[in-house]
Amino acid sequence: MNRGEFGKYLLCILAGFHVLLPPAWAAGSTEIYTPVVEGDWWQVAGNPDLGKYNDPNQQPVDFAVWQAKDGAWQLWSCIRNTKAGGHTRLFYRWEGKTLTDTNWAPMGIAMMSDKKFGEPLNGLQAPHVVRWKDEYWMAYGDWDHICLAKSKDGKSFERITSAGGSSAIFTEGSGNNPRDAMLLFTKGKWYCYYTAFPAKHGYDFCRISDDLINWSDSIVVAYGGKAGNGPYSAECPYVVEFKPECYFLFRTQFYGPGARTSVYQSANPLNFGIDDDGYFVCKMNIAAPEIINYDGLYYIAALNLNLDGIRIAKLAFRK
């Protein structure tokens, strides 16, 4: 190779550096982190007994974990493929004494859809709970809308409804199945992340609120790239603020033994890449993760790979 050829070769390498360098360079940070599961998983929930709604094909899927007012740990999961009819989904509840206990106590069916609130038959999806102003707020999907419920004790929830009696807070339009909502308080406001599939393409959206009741228009925060753009390519968006100006988006593509969640790091909670893999960090063999920050430690909860329960492990963010 002569000097001119070497110069061209070197320029090609340097020009490609924006693809090869770790993603947070694109995010405006010089510190790059990767989420890593540490140690063994422990199972906290199995496939529950639903009584008359039992079905051999039922599966615990998207869920939420939080600590109730009395200190007991709560887990609500959407159980799909039941004999409940309609969209076949309902919420089931477990309770644990400590986060590190195995096999939390099954507590029964926690919530089902209710037509008096305008909810489609058995379409409840993906609860997520936060504590704010000494109350517990649950975001969930009813198949066509994102809805909210509220609780004083973190165990019994009542829907928040409009003047017309509907539980719907917002939607992405008929047939687009907004779901998997999660709530994050950052920059002095509430951010609600969720997925939907307009035109059968999966997007991660966000809306912003001061009070958890009135929400902005939706903003697309992630789409496409190596995670794909099919209807289920942006499921279960979960955003973690690891430290100021350092946000992680966990975005699931597949459930089951081949589970895949793509992880992105960004300094901007409203941009994790639109057909742009510059923010991509890694892939993890998990589905529908929820990140728990408790007593100064991080934990990750996820579905069992055989979709027969839910498990928890310790999590670290390593440079």
Domain boundaries, the chain: 23-318
- Find, among 173, 182, 174, the residue nearest to 204 by Cα: 182
pTM above 0.95, yes or no: no
In whole angstroms, give the CA distance from residue 168 to residue 159. 10
CA separation, residue 246 to residues 176, 271, 282 (Å)? 30, 12, 16
What is the reported pLDDT for 22?
47
Which pLDDT value is given to residue 14? 32
Give the amino acid at 290.
Answer: E
d(CA 106, CA 91): 12
Encode pLDDT of 39-87 as tens digits: 999 999 999 999 999 999 999 999 999 999 999 999 999 999 999 999 9
Q: What would be the CATH architecture of the domain defined by 23-318?
A: 5 Propeller (2.115)
